Amino acid sequence: MKTLFLVSGLFFTALLYGQEFKIIKWEDLRVKLDYYDPFKELSSSQLFNLSQVAIYRVMEETHELSRSERLRKDSLEQHLKTEKIDIDYLLSMRYKVAESRSKELAAVNSSLNNQKIAIGGYLLPLNYIDNKISEFLLVPWVGACIHTTPPPRNQLIYLKTLEGVEVKSEFQAVKVEGTLTIDDRTSLLFLIDGRSDINSGYNILDGKVMDLNLMR
């Protein structure tokens, strides 16, 4: 009998433990892809000078450069060469690196699929029903998607709550608990000056929302 109670106790303890929410950060939603990015080795001034050389070379393909433009281009190239910067190699790599960066920004963390998680963020409402909202985009910073460029899809969570939430302000700070799933979704976000399609890579369809201001 004691053994039965012990086994039952361990079972229910494990069950309760399994229902706990894993606290994650927004960085956990990202995925680091293995690719070489030579531009990370350059300083900000080197990147700027290289971009100027690229612009002059594009201009050179369409029309003859003026004397001042030619002198400026030659000066920049000479300066980069003295810093042992391989201009031709870097310019040949820019599209390949840009493609790899785009893939990394779109990649989602499959290890978190169907995991019970808790994460802090800001609510961006998608609908209104009886003065309450049940659908949101959960975003990592204030202004995302409206006042700033939308984050990459692996930094956006489509959130549906079990109960409607009364939103007191735009970009309300909250903690969300629920089951995170991987899903490509496009949400229609209505703005003051129009509307925008926002692509997210994650869902939480059973979200419980807690106002961080009330938790302090």
pLDDT digits (tens, 9 = 90+) for 142-173: 988 887 888 999 999 999 998 888 887 778 89
What pLDDT was estimated at residue 190?
74
Structure confidence at residue 194 as a pLDDT band (50, 70, 90): low
Lowest mean pLDDT among 1-10, 109-118, 157-166: 1-10
What are the backbone angles phi and psi of residue 188, rounded to the nearest 5°? -90, 115
Distance CA 197, CA 107 (A): 19
CB atoms within 10 A of CB 114: 9
Q: Is residue 199, in this structure, part of any structural domain at all?
A: yes
Please identify, among 70, 91, 106, the residue that sits at the C-terminal boundary of a domain: 106
pLDDT tens, residue by residue, 52-78: 999 999 999 998 999 999 999 999 999
Indicate the residue type of 156.
L
The answer to whether residues 60 and 122 belong to one domain is no
| Residues contacting 206, CB < 8 A, separation 6+ | 160, 162, 178, 179
Please identify, among 73, 106, 139, the residue that sits at the C-terminal boundary of a domain: 106
Contact 196, 145 (CB under 8 A): yes
Q: Which residue has the higher pLDDT, 145 or 85?
A: 85
Token reading at 173? 């700070």
Q: Is residue 5, in this structure, part of any structural domain at all?
A: no
Domain of residue 141, residue span: 110-215
What pLDDT was estimated at residue 8?
42
The answer to whether residues 82 and 141 belong to one domain is no
The answer to whether residues 147 and 196 belong to one domain is yes
Please identify, among 66, 82, 106, the residue that sits at the C-terminal boundary of a domain: 106
Q: Is residue 132, in this structure, part of any structural domain at all?
A: yes
pTM of the model: 0.74
What pLDDT was estimated at residue 145?
84
The answer to whether residues 115 and 95 belong to one domain is no
